[in-house]
Amino acid sequence: MDNSLTPLVLKRLLVPTLLHLGFRKTLTMADEVVLLDFWPSPFGMRVRIALAEKGIKYEYKEEDLRNKSPLLLKMNPVHKQIPVLIHNGKPVNESLIAVQYIDEVWKDKSPILPSDPYQRALARFWADYIDKKIYVSGKKVWQTKGEEQEEAKKEFIGHLKMLEGELGDKAFFGGECFGFVDVALVPFYSWFYAYETCGSFSIEAECPKLMAWVKRCMQRDSVAKSLPDQHKVYDFVLQLKKKFGIE
Amino acid sequence: MEEVKLLGFWSSPFVYRVKWALKHKDVKYEYLEEDLWNKKSDLLLRSNPVQKRVPVLLHDGKPIAESIVILEYIEEMWPHNPLLPQDPHERAMARYWMKFGEDKAPILLGFYLNFGEEQEKNVKEAKELLKILEKHGLGENKFFGGDEIGLVDFAFGWIACWLEVMEEAVGVKLSEAESLPRLHEWIENFKKVPLIKENTPDRDRMLSFYKQRREQRRESFISSRAS
């Protein structure tokens, strides 16, 4: 090729073509992230928070749990439960497992788990404690009445106090930074009004330090945008109580 | 010099998961037997004030509790001879099955823990859960970890080495080879792994222990119904 023509060919044809192909390749390699969820689910909220912390674009799909979608049944055939994170067609089930997955795949931004293995073990321990104790004991508070409810309240407050003790004077459970245990627990804040109203007690009165921690978490966009309004959750709980014949 | 201690109880499959992982990684450790029924040690109560149970791993004095949490810690601290897949999605699947085992443990162990109608219900449900585990968890693999054992195999090790002893102690069969062929194949393969073969509690001692515990539970059950 003539020397004088080469720069022109490069400028007008080759470079744009290569750029276009590169751009197309980037497009086809873009992550496809879908979240199957149910708006009042504290487990779903955990995944929403993690995705928001990392700035990941995703498609949110609301599931009707009385009429589960074929996609949900296909992606979670064992438990048939939300949340399900679907990344490039592959499902990740169980909220805390999905949060860890998000942290591992999108590792270059806003770490959720600490980097030190011992701190990670502590974070996993407390997240596991929250998983085993908070949802179940909280549920008993709004599902029961009389003496059974008093017992349930005692148990629930006991667990919150245990967590408040673990928080101590730290800003967040992990220390200075918002992390895994905070993500595991803060969604239950959206259910506090429901627990308090059904059980006639005040979580602020019982656990003031925990409520201060809640306020710090709610200052984060990722949390504020992922949690539904407490009154909306309370209305939902009232509907459930009616449906299950609980006065 | 790293100091690793393991607080345990001789018959606990949860403790054995941790022992297997430490041995797989060639980590030297000191084992301390806890007298769980009579007097838990101060070290245990200080190290695990929340749950007050074994296993507890102490690494240079720092305690870690809950067997699955300990397994993940061991994997991260000593990454050679890996027990979890490298691929994030496969790791998520491994964690999923370990959680499945933990969440379903009360039902899977219901045949041993419970009596009467509740026991019958648990047995029926447990058989279904084992089918799910076999089909979705194990699939066509030799081990849950694939060609080699991994953390998920350790987590379900109790099905290989403890279940049939407990079944004999109780007089109930949960897992028939005819209805769970792939799982039984896994049991045989798992028991043959030298690490596992050389590190399981004495069968006769286990049988006698579980028979005794079952009787104690039966007495409690009867007296709680009478009151």
Cβ atoms of residues A149 and A199 within 8 Å: yes
- Peptide bond before B82: cis, by omega within 30 degrees of 0? no
CA–CA separation, B126 and B135 (whole Å)? 14
In this predicted model, which residue has the larger pLDDT, A8 or A20? A8
* pLDDT over 90, % of chain A: 85
Contact B73 A120 (CB under 8 A): yes
Chain A residues in contact with B62 by the CB 8 A cut-off are 118
Cβ atoms of residues B160 and B149 within 8 Å: no
Chain A residues in contact with B95 by the CB 8 A cut-off are 94, 97, 100
Relative to beta strand A33-37, strand A59-62 is parallel
- CA of B127, closest CA in chain A: separation in Å? 14
Residue A15's pLDDT is: 62
Cβ atoms of residues A28 and A177 within 8 Å: no
Residue A23's pLDDT is: 47
Of A93, A121, A162, the CB nearest to B50: A162
Residue A246's pLDDT is: 81
Question: Is the CB of residue B99 less than 8 Å away from at least one CB of chain A?
Answer: yes
Contact A77 B136 (CB under 8 A): yes
- For A174-204, write each residue's pLDDT tens digit: 899 999 999 999 999 999 999 999 999 999 9
Of A77, A101, A122, the CB nearest to B92: A101
In this predicted model, which residue has the larger pLDDT, A246 or B62? B62
Q: What is the ipTM of this complex?
A: 0.94
Nearest chain B alpha carbon to A77? B136
Contact B99 A94 (CB under 8 A): yes
Q: Is the dihedral of CA A89, A90, A94, A100 positive or negative?
A: negative
Residue A244's pLDDT is: 85
Q: Is the dihedral of CA A31, A37, A39, A41 positive or negative?
A: negative
> Is residue A247 helix, strand or coil?
coil
Segment holding B164, helix H or strand E: helix B163-170
- For B161-192, write each residue's pLDDT tens digit: 999 999 999 999 998 999 999 999 999 999 99
Residue A1's pLDDT is: 47
Residue with tokens 């499959």: B13
Q: How many CB pairs under 8 A join A and B?
A: 56
- For A99-130, write each residue's pLDDT tens digit: 999 999 999 999 999 999 999 999 999 999 99
Residue A27's pLDDT is: 40
Contacts of B73 (CB under 8 A, 6+ apart): A117, A118, A120, A121, B57, B59, B64
Contact A101 B59 (CB under 8 A): no
Contacts of A78 (CB under 8 A, 6+ apart): A93, B100, B132, B136
Of A97, A124, A128, the CB nearest to B92: A97
Relative to beta strand B4-8, strand B30-33 is parallel
CA–CA separation, A208 and A75 (whole Å)? 41
- Dig out the tokens for B29 from the structure: 């450790």
- For A122-137, write each residue's pLDDT tens digit: 999 999 999 999 999 9
Of B50, B68, B77, the CB nearest to A117: B77
* Main-chain phi, psi angles of A14, to 5 degrees: -65, -50
- Dig out the tokens for B83 from the structure: 């027990």
Chain A residues in contact with B132 by the CB 8 A cut-off are 78
> Is residue B64 helix, strand or coil?
strand
pLDDT at A231 over 60: yes
Contact B95 A100 (CB under 8 A): yes
- For A68-78, write each residue's pLDDT tens digit: 999 999 999 99
Question: Is the CB of residue B130 less than 8 Å away from at least one CB of chain A?
Answer: no
Residue ranges for chain B with pLDDT beneath 70:
1
Amino acid residing at B195: L
Contact A97 B100 (CB under 8 A): no
Residue B225's pLDDT is: 85
CA–CA separation, A210 and B210 (whole Å)? 43
Contact B89 A120 (CB under 8 A): no
Q: How confident is the model at residue A25 (pLDDT cuts 50, 70, 90)?
A: very low
Contact B99 A97 (CB under 8 A): yes
